[in-house]
Amino acid sequence: MIKERGSGKVILFGEHFVVYGVPGIAAGIDRGVEVSVKESSEDKIVGEWNTEGTRKAVDAIKKKMGIEGHIEIGVKEEIPTKAGLGASAAFSVGLTKAVAKLFNKKIEEEEVFSTSLEAEKIYHGNPSGIDNAAATYGGLIKFIKGKGIERLDIGKELNIVVSFTGKKGSTKELVEGVKKVKERNEGVFEKLLSSYVELYKEGENALKQGNIEKIGELMNINHGLLSAIGVSTKENEEVAHIAREEGALGSKITGAGGGGCNIALVRDESEAGELAHKLERRGFRSFPARIGG
């Protein structure tokens, strides 16, 4: 039995906007999805992941890798699915690495990324690839659709709190919804996109300078832009407001929204623990995480 993992991810800046070719910043987190594989007489997925989508995703990965043998797959997730933390990409990355090991294929990170992206296309239709990049490379990365990644070395870790709003969202539907908002409001959307690009530039500088107050403020503005394009629910707003009232430097949706998860930026590990606790008491499953570093 071979076991491999893909990291879950958070997006600090740029979900949805990255679909339109502008840069975003994402980070791998400690929690992810562990995939185990063994050879079998037929392809088999054990447990809740045995869905039509996953069966097609497995076929896509095997096809891309030129694998004809059959496998039995087990999945253990440490993050909620359909909640903006990149569980499907983490699964696809874990599976690609595990299959490569099982069939003695040497595979570079770039190929893990491109292979797992074939599966993500089945799950999400038109993915930018940002989730797969974070699940493959981990760390803090700058991502541009179709252009690969750049590692961002900011010299220190950022402390965040990840909170699940309790509501699951469909990335595919949310991305399609944003496309419709764009089509109905081309001029306005262009302006929002260029505001985001300005925000991104300032965010990248603030990260390099370690200016966490500025990063927090820009996260709040990024959240506002996500509300403007229609992907924030009342749960996302509630979590963002509670986190800010409780002293977070910034709080925003992470991932596709429509519920899913929010992240909040705090100053240090002890603040992260306290805030996670407070959000839990308000009914939102939360955990502290460190990104970058």
The single residue of 43, 59, 131, 153 carrying the catalytic annotation is 131
> Residue 44, by phi and psi: left (phi above 0), alpha (psi -120 to 50) or beta?
beta
- CA 59, distance to chain mean position in Å, is 23
Residue type at 292 in one-letter notation:
G
Interatomic CA distance for residues 160 and 266, integer angstroms: 6
For 78, the 3-state DSSP assignment is coil
- CA 55, distance to chain mean position in Å, is 22
Whether 59 sits among the annotated catalytic residues: the reply is no
Judged by CB, which is closer to ligand MEV: 5, or 16? Answer: 16
Q: Count of CB atoms within 10 A of residue 221's CB? A: 18
Length of the chain as a residue count: 293
Tokens of 157: 């870790």
Residue 108 burial (10 A CB sphere; 0-12, 13-18, 19+):
exposed
Judged by CB, which is closer to ligand MEV: 36, or 262? Answer: 262
Interatomic CA distance for residues 117 and 112, integer angstroms: 8
Residue type at 251 in one-letter notation:
S
Q: What does the per-residue mask of binding to ligand MEV show for 107-146, with x meaning CB under 6 A?
A: -----------------x--xx-xx---------------
Judged by CB, which is closer to ligand MEV: 170, or 220? Answer: 170
Q: How many residues bind ligand MEV (CB under 6 A)?
A: 16
Give the residue nearest to ligand MEV (CB). Answer: 128
Examine residue 18 and tell whether it contacts ligand MEV (CB under 6 A): yes
Determine contact, residues 172/124, Cβ cutoff 8 Å: yes
Judged by CB, which is closer to ligand MEV: 257, or 288? Answer: 257
Q: Choose the binding region for ligand MEV from 16-24, 66-74, 194-202, 275-283 (rule: CB under 6 A).
A: 16-24
Site for ligand MEV in 252-291 (CB under 6 A): 255-256
Interatomic CA distance for residues 108 and 126, integer angstroms: 24
Q: What does the per-residue mask of binding to ligand MEV show for 213-252, with x meaning CB under 6 A?
A: ----------------------------------------
Examine residue 159 and tell whether it contacts ligand MEV (CB under 6 A): no
Judged by CB, which is closer to ligand MEV: 15, or 118? Answer: 15
- One residue of 5, 7, 13, 15 binding ligand MEV per CB under 6 A: 15
Closest distance of CB 260 from ligand MEV, Å: 9
Tokens of 114: 């491109």
Provide the annotated active-site residues: 131
Binding site for ligand MEV (CB under 6 A): 11, 15-16, 18-19, 84, 86, 124, 127-128, 130-131, 171, 175, 255-256
